[in-house]
Amino acid sequence: MALEQRTLTVPALVVMIIAASAPLTAVAGGVTTNYAVTGMSSVPLSFLLIGAVLLVFSIGYTAMSRHIPNAGAFYAYVAEGLGRIVGVGAAMVALVSYNLMQIGIYGMFGFAAASFANATFNTAIPWWGMALVAWAAVGFLGMNRVDFSVKVLGIIVAAEFLVVVVYNIMAFALAPQAPQPETAFNFSDALAPGMGAVVAFTIAAFMGFESGTIYNEEVKDPQRTARRATMIAIVIIACFYAFSAFAVAVGEGADNVIAASAENGPDLLFVFFAAHAPTWFVDLANILFITSLFAALLAFHNVIARYFYSMGRGGALPKFLAVTSRTTHAPIAGSMAQSVLGLIVIIAFAIASRGQEPMYIVFTMFTWMTNSAAFGLVLLMALTSFAVIGYFARRKTDDSLVTRVIAPSISGIALFYVFAQIIINFDILLGVEDPGLLGYALQGIVIIPGVLASLAAAIIRLTGKGSQPATELSVL
């Protein structure tokens, strides 16, 4: 029942982390949407601010990974730092959030792939047809060796970066007006009223950065690999996305970028390419946008499979979920469980989207699910910050005061601020004026399973049945 041991290196883990953030999707979709919806020019600055917060968060987070090499990461750390009852609740929030993120991306993938195929080959493939193709491929790769997935993701991520780099170069070369870095990186905007909405959008582009520690049972050096890979990935993501967001403003003109983003949305980069690049490059960029989504699907699938595995092994979920392949050592039961959930949701939305406009699936399945996931994951990160303090307060280690107290305190406060901004701006994130019952329902889908799981764990504790170590999170 053990996972494959000690095959992942720092570069391989960096690829896995960055693949989850989907660089081309983040720049084409996330950056332009941020400009359009918030109307703020400081989108590039927000990536540096969030990157700094997550770097501080990672100091304590990755330090815990050296002491607790558990594939459950978030929930295992919360269990050790804040207690088993809170840890069980965190486990369910994590599992729901990651599944919402992964499955929601099937909606965007299906829309983008079907739109491209239908426009290119004059077909009428429904979004769910393409989503099922991705679902089958992800399921197959998820049950194979993790280093095989790394090779696939490495090729995709490298191609994504290349396309964005080409765009950045072209944007500066063809800029309609002089670049205005003083506007894009105006640090006085950090406390501006609209910055809360900006960071609420921006942090979604980093989701998946924390997955490095989830592979700590499979890395070559559990004391260093996850820590180094996480730090490197955050720096790359923050700097690259900040510069690319600035390039978007340069390419459209600082005075026009917000209006252009509102008009074209995620198509902004491709409209730019269509005006200045050969047709074959525009097609290539579209294909890589689709493969970017596939890379994120596969990266999050691997994370979720390991969450199922860890929770099954610890007793928080049925034991059969801890079954691994005898040949590949992959968590096949967890992989299959995630695939089944994905299939159910794809079928449900395929039925719901009958007769609707093509963009319906983007506005619902993708937007609703991924933003709800970000809501849950940011909450988990904030809780984990304070779990770090609790863990080191009860154990004597050689970790510094900065690692044990100062860094997690700063990141915990900052992340709770971001979490509050997500709640305040949830209507903007969902793209509706008044989410009403929908907003409460989506937040409830994330929070209620955690509350119920914690209550169940508390009841079991009172009956005297809980006895195993918190690192395994057994509630039985």
Q: Give the pLDDT confidence of 347-377 residue by residue, as tens digits.
A: 999 999 999 998 899 989 999 999 999 999 9
CATH number at residue 203: 1.20.1740.10
* Domain contains 475: no
Q: What is the DSSP string of 321-348?
A: GG---TTT---HHHHHHHHHHHHHHHHH
* Domain contains 469: no
* Domain contains 5: no
Contacting residues for 260 by C-beta, under 8 A, at least 6 apart: 252, 268
Least confident of 11-20, 81-90, 114-123, 167-176: 11-20
**What secondary structure, in 3-state letters, does 405-416 show?**
HHHHHHHHHHHH
pLDDT over 90 (residue 432): no
Q: How far apart are CA 29 and CA 289, in angstroms?
A: 10
Query: Taking the complete model, does pTM exceed 0.85, yes or no?
Result: yes
Confidence of residue 70 (pLDDT cuts 50, 70, 90): low
Least confident of 181-190, 299-308, 309-318: 309-318
Both tokens of 408, joined, read 């997690």
**Would you report the helix, strand and coil content of the chain in percent, each value rounded to 5?**
80, 0, 20
| Model confidence pLDDT, tens digit, residues 22-67 | 888 889 888 998 998 888 999 999 999 999 999 999 999 888 888 8
Closest by CA position to 342, among listed 81, 196, 136: 136
* Domain contains 95: yes
Confidence of residue 210 (pLDDT cuts 50, 70, 90): confident
* Domain contains 114: yes
Count how many domains the chain has.
Answer: 1
* Domain contains 177: yes
* Domain contains 394: yes
* Token pair 């927000």: residue: 46
pLDDT over 90 (residue 17): no
Neighbours of 425 (CB within 10 A): 20
pLDDT over 60 (residue 466): no
The pLDDT of 280-306, averaged and rounded, is 92
Both tokens of 33, joined, read 């949407």
Closest by CA position to 269, among listed 185, 170, 158, 183: 170
Question: Which residues share a beta bridge with 8?
Answer: 219
- Segments forming the whole domain that contains residue 159: 10-464
Q: How far apart are CA 102 and CA 128, in angstroms?
A: 15
- 334 with 309: CB under 8 angstroms? yes
- Give the model's pLDDT for residue 5: 58
* Domain contains 473: no
pLDDT over 70 (residue 101): yes
- Give the model's pLDDT for residue 4: 54
